[in-house]
Amino acid sequence: MSCYLMNEKEIGEIAAANFVLGIYNSKGSFYNGVTKELVQYESAEEAAVALALQNIASCQARYPNHGEIAGGFLESAEEEKAYLAGCLTAARKAVYGFPMKPMKLYGLVKTFT
């Protein structure tokens, strides 16, 4: 199975969908299927950073010998910091932008899992 570092905008869109009024709004509540616990985030930005950190950890677990951060997808701590900031900014923009079409959002979430 392969793994890749998701685009900042994609992570922002997934996180924001749960805070935009409409059909997907979970008001920041997410169910963790692994721990069987309900997880609560206060904002799309907070959720985006959490998703990004898990994506980084997943890439590192999949490609441990290709680099120290995200399996070599990120070259330095500075790049990691910039990536996290980009995900946060993308979530902020997505909350106030046009909502993503349902099937496109479904495809992104399916790709992320």
Q: Please write the tens of the pLDDT for every residue from 16-72.
A: 888 876 656 677 777 777 788 888 889 999 999 999 999 999 999 999 999 999 999
Contact indicator for 109, 10 with CB cutoff of 8 Å: no
Q: What is the pLDDT of residue 38?
A: 87
Residue 74 class from Cβ within 10 Å (0-12 exposed, 13-18 middle, 19+ buried)? Answer: buried
Task: Name which of 27, 33, 26 is nearest 112 in CA terms.
Answer: 33
Of the candidates 94, 60, 66, 61, the one whose C-alpha atom is nearest the C-alpha of residue 80 is 60
DSSP code of residue 40:
E
- What pLDDT is stored for residue 82 in this prediction? 97
Residue 1: band (very low, low, confident or very high) from pLDDT cuts 50, 70, 90: low
Q: Chain centroid to CA 104: how far?
A: 15
The average pLDDT across 72-82 equals: 95
Instruction: Write down the pLDDT at residue 60.
Output: 94
Q: What is the reported pTM?
A: 0.83
